[in-house]
Amino acid sequence: MRARRRTLSPPPLSLAAAATDDDCHERLCPSLTCFPPLSSFTLGKSLVQTHGHTFSRLTMDWVERSRLNLVEVISNLRGGRIENHRRRKNLCISDRDSNSYLPVTGSPIYCKSDALDQSITETGLALTWEGQNGFEELRRYIKQGGDFCKDLSSILQERSEVETQYAKSLSKLSGKLLKASKDSVGSVNQAWQRAGTQMEVQSEVHRAFATALSEEVVKPLRQLVETQHRIRKSVESAVDKTGKSLAEWRSAESKSKKQSFMCARENEKLQDAMLDVRLGRSGSTHHLHHIQNQKTVSEKESVKLESKRRKAEEAVKKADVEYYTFCIRAERARLEWETAVIRGSHCFQALEEERLQHLKDLASCYLQHLTEMGPKLVQSVERLSEPVQICDVARDIQTVVSIKGTGQPIPEQLLPDFYAEHITLAMNRDRRRQALVKLLQLIRQDLDRERRGKQGVENLARALQQTPTFGAEDSQQNVTEKLHHMRSMLTYLEAARYKVQSALAELDGRSRGSHPLASHIQVTRDRQGLQQSVLKVPPWVRKESLDLLAGDSPDWTDRGAADGNSVQPDSDFDEFSSQGSEKDYQSSMLTFPVISECGESNGSGAGRCKVLYEYSANLYDELNLSPGDVINIHDKQADGWWLGELNGIVGIFPATYVEEIK
∠ CA 108-111-117 to the nearest 5 degrees? 100
Give mean pLDDT in consecutive 10-residue pieces for the chain, a chain of 662 residues. 38 38 37 35 35 35 37 38 39 35 34 40 45 75 90 88 77 84 84 83 76 89 91 89 91 92 92 82 47 58 86 90 92 90 88 92 88 78 85 87 70 85 85 88 87 77 67 69 84 88 84 80 83 79 56 45 49 40 40 35 64 84 88 80 82 88 84
Task: Determine the pLDDT at residue 32.
Answer: 33
What CATH number belongs to 607-661?
A: 2.30.30.40
Domain ranges, ordered by start, for the chain: 13-35+101-251+340-404, 410-569, 607-661
525 forms beta bridges with: 531
Q: Work out the number of other CB atoms within 10 angstroms of the CB of residue 425.
A: 15
Task: Determine the pLDDT at residue 172.
Answer: 81
Q: Work out the number of other CB atoms within 10 angstroms of the CB of residue 601.
A: 13
pTM higher than the cut 0.75: no
Rg (CA), the chain: 34
Task: Determine the pLDDT at residue 308.
Answer: 87
Sheet holding 521-525, edge to edge: 412-415, 531-536, 521-525
> How many CA atoms does the CB half-sphere of 58 hold within 13 Å?
1
Query: Torsion over CA of 35, 41, 42 and 44, rounded to 10 degrees?
Result: 110
User: Dihedrals φ, ψ of 68, to 5°?
Assistant: -75, 160
Task: Return the HEC string of 199-211.
Answer: HHHCCCCCHHHHH
* 596 to 456, 462, 479: CA distances (angstroms): 9, 13, 19
* Contacts for 348 with CB less than 8 Å, ≥ 6 apart: 126, 129, 138, 139, 142, 232, 235
